[in-house]
Amino acid sequence: MEKKIIIKTEKIQLDQFLKWADIIQSGGQIRGLLDEKRIYINGILCHEKRKQLHINDVVEIKKIGIFRVSGE
């Protein structure tokens, strides 16, 4: 099941989004998820920790969950 994460801006960086959603505690923790090829943005494997996310983008993290970027 997909979980909506509300942001207050038009876009947000992936590492900031994961911290905002309480998936990681620090920006450095994203490196392990990227190295293990566990993060997909809109179904495409992501390699960038600072990838820009926009409203309605879907972030899937294998073994963790699926999250939709949502506006207010």
**CATH value at residue 63:** 3.10.290.10
pTM: 0.93
Domain enclosing residue 55, as ranges: 2-70
> Does the pLDDT at position 1 exceed 90?
no
The token pair at 66 is 């699926």
Domain count, the chain: 1
Question: What is the per-residue pLDDT for 59?
Answer: 98
The token pair at 28 is 């450095």
Q: Which element (helix H / strand E) includes 42?
A: none
Residues 6+ apart with CB under 8 A from 40: 46, 59, 60, 61, 62
- For residues 38-60, average pLDDT: 97
Read off the pLDDT band of 9 (50, 70, 90): very high
- Phi and psi at residue 25, to the nearest 5°: -95, -30
